[in-house]
Structure 1
Amino acid sequence: MKKLKNCVRGLTLTAIASSVLAALPAWAVEPFMLKDIRVEGLQRVEPGTVFASLPFRIGDTYSDDKGTAAIRALFGLGLFNDVRLQVNDDVLVVIVEERPTVADVSFSGVREFDKDALLASLRDVGLAEGRPFDKALADRAEQELKRQYINRSMYTTQVVTTVTPIDRNRVNLNFSVSEGDVAKIHEIRVVGNKAFAESTLRNLFDLDTGGWLSWYTKSDRYERSKLNADLESLRSYYLQRGYLDFKIDSTQVAISPDKEKMSVTINITEGERFVVSEVKLEGQYFGKEEDFKSLVEIEVGQAYNAEEVSRTIKNFTDFFGSFGYAFARVEAVPTIDRATNQVSFSLQAQPARRVYVRRINIEGNNRTRDEVIRREFRQLESSWYDSDRIRLSRDRVDRLGFFTEVSIGTEPVPGSNDQVDLTVTVVERPTGNLAIGAGYSQADKLSLIANINVENVFGTGNYVALDLNTSDYSRQFVLSTTDPYFTKDGVSRTFDAYYKTQQPYDAQGGDYTITTKGLGVKFGVPFTERDTVYFGIGGEKVEIEEGNELPEAYLGQDGTYIPATVGWTRDERDSALVPTTGRMQRFNTELGIGGDRRYAKLSYQFQQYIPLNKQYTLAFNTELGAGKGLGGDPFPVLRNFTGGGLGSVRGFDQGTLGPKSAVVGSTTGETVSIGGARKLVLNAEFIAPFPGAGNDRTLRWFGFVDAGNIYGEDESIDMSQLRSSVGFGISWISPIGPLRFAYAHPVRKFDGDKIQKFQFQIGTSF
């Protein structure tokens, strides 16, 4: 009997036999106490991984059930092709055969996708370098690659996987892809429409049957996500025009036998058009019913509009939030009278409970210090929740210009019914720029550039700039520093030191120079949340070295200037980088209080951004300027306003609008632009996201209309002398700075104007 027992212990237990073990009692092992456990066959897997998965330890009693459980646990790791157990003299030997490890994943024949994107998709199904490999995993990887191509309407794509074994039980994988042709949308049908033409409804869709830009927009490629978005646009279109019972019955997508053409058919039921008969308030409004009624955007007597209902609900919840009710529930309950096609709404409010903000958390600021963000917050911890202050805080953080995205989420505090936490999530953008090299622009031609420009030094929110520029027309050395919180109350301080030499842009071949050396200091005092008043003083020394093509107006303009400045800014925009709504006003006064020149210079700028929807924005810009000499002196020519080019009236050469001066010693009557003491510039832009920009909200295109001119000190602003242009352009907050390209066609021009239709700039918004 004893010999039989030892013989049975020497038998091998295999992984596949876990079920067989239960069916063959002749192989059964009598329970015994384990003296030792050994593992054989490991190459890359750590022994500790195996031991941790076993349901027993040395000294435990071993049984068939525990052996079966051990095999199942080891297979469950997904690391082994085979697992066997052997028992010899109370010692358990675990014999494993490891699955190969993926050493490299490569692709051939891939043109449609970036290979990193495909690697990421394969990683989601478990295939990646360093992970175990088996045939089932390769099959899943093939199906995932085909799915990615199907999402791009490439239904004929074929994928062949080649597995190449290499040393140390590793494999290289190559996916050979035959992409085939793209299946394009051949037809889109809307069936069941009566109130609106089919062509009108199809124009709502991003998907279409192709056009001259389809090679770029790929709008003729079927994607389920795009179709869902188009269906939502269709539904919104009807619901905004009174069709309360509108529904989409079905959507059929058919593909031709050759898998190259697709047709989409959308079946709809419009229903009847309903008119709003009444809007009433129900629930708890804390005696502020009249205030809430003023927020109602649902118009009685007009067609039902789902968007107006949504905006009204948002207005109500925001108003409740402004006095602490963060979780107020507002429902617009309709009562439908189908006999008269009328609908009335009951706005039912349940304010729930008033809550405090326990804590404000900040996420995403890897470089920017928490303090820089927190000091912009007007919603304080341990105070009542106030949606107005939270919205203001978000806008203030966004206007810092350090982040491409700023959002604030509200989360209930577990175990508390009157507290919430706010989570501020930011996405930082590069705020520093180091450049050493050469540059080229239309205004300055070839130049050597060296600059360090950091808007958020060491994450402190401070600004430091050091610029060295050696161009044909403008050479400068500028050092500037700004501390936005020079005092705890938010008073900013800016120091400037500069040395500049320049020539006017249109002085060709001239060898005279204007040298300006200066120092200045400016303080910004916040008077309200959105209003800042600036005070500053500086000193300049201007020297003019006469030479060829020197304008006569520049004679006698050298000397000492001591300007004092007083300015005011009110910024109500939602963002400093890419504003879509709000208003910005800026007024500045510069007074020559000392030195060789007495003068006054006033300027005013007004910007208004009007959102048409989430994507499109109208922007308006107005700039006015006036200068006057004091004490009987004329206004200094070197303080003149200039116009033309980007930032002014596009389509006209940079700085060439306005009065001109004769050139010293010219016998041909040559004149050059010198600007003027009065300025009027008007700009209007239609702004939209650039096709294919994805989540980059800083890349946009725009169409524009510009008008403006520069006038002399003794001239009145004559509207008949305005220059104007129309055009389009692209703006982008790129890693190297704000880029702006514009093509303009002058609509109103006069003899002698210098035209420049294509212009580009790294700099300002308008």
Structure 2
Amino acid sequence: MQRRYHYKKVAKFSEMRKTLVLVLLIVLLIISGCFGEVKRTDEVRIKEIKFKGNNSISDKKLKGLFPIREGDPYIERFTREGTERIINYYRSKGFFDMRIIKREGEFLKEQGEIIMTYHIFEGFRSKIDSIEIQGNSLFTDKQVRRILSIKEGDYYDEAIIGAGEYSLSNKYAERGYANVEIRVNRTFQDISASSKRVFLIIEVNEGNKVWVRYIKFKGLKGVRESIVTREMRIKRGDLYRPSRVYESQSRLYKTELFSDVDFHEQKIEGDSVDLTFLFKEEKPRFIYVGFGYESPSKGMFLFRWGHLNLFGNLQRMVIDFTIRANPELEHWENIRLTYSESYLFNTGFNLIASPAYFHVYTNEYEESDISFDLAIERALSLRSKISLLYDFRRAEIQETPSITNRLSIRYLYEGRDNIIVPRKGMRVLSQIEYAGGFLGGDNHFDRFRLDISTYHSLPFRIVFAFRSVVGLTHPREAPTDISTDVRFEMGGYGTIRGYEEASIGVQDNRGISSGLEQILFNFELRLPIYKNIIASIFADVGNLWMDYSDVSLYDPRIGVGFGMGYITPIGVVRFDYARALENMGPDYRGILYLNFANP
């Protein structure tokens, strides 16, 4: 009995010891996890990576191949990986005999840093000796060579060959040969101890044309399938062309009915493919309420209600209500209803109707406008559209009414790479107007307006933005008889910064300035500072005249300045300072602008 008790006691003590050891191990693991990332005080960091002998490829490019950067801790396996990447990159460019003849490391003990130097022997760069094309029947040899963008005598470059191979595949796919197989065979022949000849054989297996057998839609709930089918640019039984699928995807996004549009293709044996489109719908109704600020001193309240699919056939209705006011108790109210009917009478035309009311009260004048705009528009391409517009406006300024009836033709091209923060591309808006005449009303004139914005990407991620605006009016009555509500205004953000709003031109009966002939140029450099922060330097040049005979490029109004901006997902918040380059009086100190958009 005593022995059994002793055995149980020993066994119990053994279990306790095991438990204690297990707890200690867990504690040690926790401690090591908590302190495993503590910086070592004796670690060696890379101060500089240098190259010698690289005559054909820049230091910047070679440094970019390394998985580590200057200032990072020195890790041998990363430096070896960087060495292999450099060798492979050189060989992909035709330097087949390239080698790193020496790698040096200068250790700076006091700083705990190392300077790495790579001595490179590039050797000769090989050229393409001959190109042979096999298996092609849809395109001639000459056409294939032009698509590949390579020819005999060019330096061997894997990137260019790969891009050419991809372009050739796309060309075949757009002709319906989606299953085309292209293989580039390379043969190398030594012609000396340091140079090779490269022979390329382009093997093309065209296969058969591929047709769309079936198109399925998944995820549609509140949106009719007929709306989706109408936006599709590829149908059942069509040749399968990838560009038509991507165009359909883009058009479906533009309806704003979907938060996500994806597609999958399933190739069927033979010459067919099945397409499946997957949708995530947006809620068709929305309400926005917001507060804002408009330079130089206006506070804003905004309300918007809308429905993106009012009657189930992509009809839209949006109501906008805006109030602006400043500390002088001046205020501006605007309410507008916009109704749009897509595919009017099942055609490719869209109808847009928009009644509006506008009221302004300032210390100089009071104005009330009632307007009705009617537009019929048609897309010419993914980036352009043309519109026919009718505009009725009844304005009452200082209790003096005037009526304007206008017909216009408008062309819009949107070719910017990004609407919010463009880096390259172009936007063009041109419009021809006819007012009065057989349409009736109090204003009779013809007008042409052209607004072009271009964006150019420069080195170091700098963007040069240039905008030019020309507005020319041919009045069929005395220029001063044209009512002020249809004249141009200039000065302030969006035109010439550094001037007060509507301060350029000829003073009218409202106590502000306006005109009929307009010329404007905006120049701006946008420089990246840090992540989403940008800086800008700008100059605005232009003027406004009442009569065409007074137009002159020798008497411009000029505003210059600089600013800072922060890029958000929905726009750029900008803070600008501008000065007019003329004598504006002893109290003039320039103007500060805070706005939520580029000018």
Alpha-carbon shift at residue 182 of structure 1 (Å): 13
Query: How big is each residue's C-alpha offset from its partner over 1:258-281, in whole Å with a ceiling of 9 and x where there is no partner?
Result: 999788887977453234455453
The AA in structure 2 aligned to 1:477 is I
* d(CA) in 2 for partners of 1:233, 1:647: 49
1:323, distance to aligned residue in structure 2 (A) = 0.7
Aligned with residue 286 of structure 1, among 135, 138, 149 = 138
Shift of 1:577: 5.8
Residues 1:378 and 2:378 are matched in the alignment? no
Residue 205 of structure 2 corresponds to residue 350 of structure 1: yes
Q: Are the counterparts in 2 of residues 251 and 266 from structure 1 also a CA contact under 8 Å?
A: yes
The equivalent residue for 2:488 is: 641
Alpha-carbon distance change, 676 to 401 in structure 1, aligned in 2, over 3 angstroms: farther
TM-score by length of 1: 0.59
Structure-1 separation of matches of 2:228 and 2:118: 49
Quote the residue 2:242 is aligned against. Answer: 387
Q: Give the CA deviation at 1:384.
A: 0.4
- Equivalent residue of 2:391, what SS? strand
Amino acid aligned to 1:641: F
Match of 1:496 in 2: 354
Aligned equivalents of 1:229 and 1:483: distance in 2?
60
Select the residue among 338, 347, 356 that pairs with 1:480: 338
Residues 590-624 of structure 1, C-alpha deviations (whole Å, 9 max, x = no match): 322321111223222345566789x8877654433
TM-score, normalised relative to structure 2: 0.72
Q: Is the 8 A contact 1:565 1:589 kept in 2?
A: yes
In 2, the alpha carbon distance for the partners of 1:637 and 1:182 equals 76
Judged with a 3 Å threshold, the aligned counterparts in structure 2 of structure 1 residues 285 and 236 are, in CA distance, closer, same or farther, namely farther
Which runs of 5 or more structure 1 residues have no equivalent in the other structure?
1-133, 147-156, 160-176, 211-219, 504-508, 547-555, 665-670, 693-698
**Relative to structure 1, is the Cα distance of residues 445 and 184 closer, same or farther in structure 2, using a 3 angstrom cutoff?**
farther
Return the letter of the residue paired with 2:175: F
Partners of 1:391 and 1:658 in 2: CA distance: 47
Which residue identity is paired with 1:467? F
Post-superposition shift, 1:494?
A: 1.5
Aligned pairs for 1:689-728 within 5 A: 701=534, 707-712=540-545, 713-714=547-548, 715-716=550-551, 718=553, 721=556, 723=558, 725=560, 727=562
Q: What is the SS of the residue equivalent to 1:295?
A: helix
- Secondary structure of 1:390's counterpart equals helix
Q: Is the 8 A contact 1:640 1:676 kept in 2?
A: yes
Within the alignment, does 1:274 sit opposite 2:126 as a pair?
yes
Q: Is the CA contact 2:295–2:592 (under 8 Å) kept in the aligned structure 1?
A: no
Structure 2 CA distance for aligned equivalents of residues 513 and 264 of structure 1: 74
Paired residue secondary structure (2:55): coil
Q: Distance in 2 between the 1:270 and 1:244 partners?
A: 9
Does the CA-based 8 Å contact 1:404-1:427 persist in structure 2? yes
Spell out the pairing of 1:78-97 with structure 2 (5 A cutoff): none
Change (3 A) 1:535 1:345: same
Q: Structure 2: state its 5+ residue gaps.
A: 1-21
SS where residue 346 of structure 2 aligns?
Answer: coil
Distance 2:379 2:364 in 1: 45
Per-residue deviation, 1:379: 2.3
Aligned residues of 1:599 and 1:636 also touching (Cα < 8 A): no
Is the alpha carbon distance of 1:542 and 1:700 closer, same or farther for their aligned partners in structure 2, counting shifts above 3 Å?
Answer: same
Question: Counterpart of 2:321?
Answer: 467
CA contact (8 A) 1:188 1:202 kept: no
Cα drift, residue 589 of structure 1: 2.4
User: Aligned equivalents of 1:438 and 1:375: distance in 2?
Assistant: 38
2:532 counterpart of 1:674 = no
Instruction: Name the stretch that deviates more: 380-389 or 616-625.
Output: 616-625
Q: What residue is the counterpart of 1:626 in the other structure?
A: 472
Q: Give the C-alpha shift of residue 391 in structure 1.
A: 4.3
SS at match of 1:383: coil
CA distance in 1, matches of 2:221, 2:100: 46
Is 1:603 paired with 2:411? no
Q: Secondary structure at the match of 1:603?
A: strand
C-alpha separation in 2, matches of 1:565 and 1:137: 82
SS of the aligned residue for 1:312 comes to helix
Shift of residue 675, structure 1, vs aligned partner = 5.2
Do the aligned partners of residues 361 and 570 (structure 1) sit closer, same or farther apart at CA in structure 2, a change above 3 Å counting?
A: farther
**1:534 and 2:394 equivalent?**
no
- Give, in angstroms, the shift of residue 403 of structure 1: 7.4
The one-letter amino acid paired with 2:143 is D
Asked if 1:544 is matched to 2:544, the reply is no
The SS at the match of 2:248 is helix
How many Å separate the matches in 1 of 2:115 and 2:280?
A: 41
The answer to whether structure 1 residue 452 and structure 2 residue 317 are counterparts is no
SS in 2 for 1:559: strand
| 1-structure distance, mates of 2:281, 2:567 | 16
Paired residue type of 2:295: Q
CA distance in 2, matches of 1:720, 1:276: 60
Shift of the alpha carbon at 1:418?
Answer: 1.8
Cα separation, 1, equivalents of 2:89 and 2:538: 30
Return the match for 1:521 from 360, 374, 398.
Answer: 374
Aligned length: 561
One-letter amino acid of the counterpart of residue 322, structure 1: E
Higher radius of gyration, 1 or 2: 1
Residue of structure 1 equivalent to 2:505? 659
Q: Residues of 1 paired with 2:575 and 2:500: CA distance?
A: 13
Is 1:569 the equivalent of 2:412? yes
Residues 349-390 of structure 1 deviation map (CA, whole Å, 9 limit, x = unaligned): 222332123344667889877665553332223310123433
CA distance in 2, matches of 1:704, 1:223: 43
Equivalent residue number for residue 149 of structure 2: 297
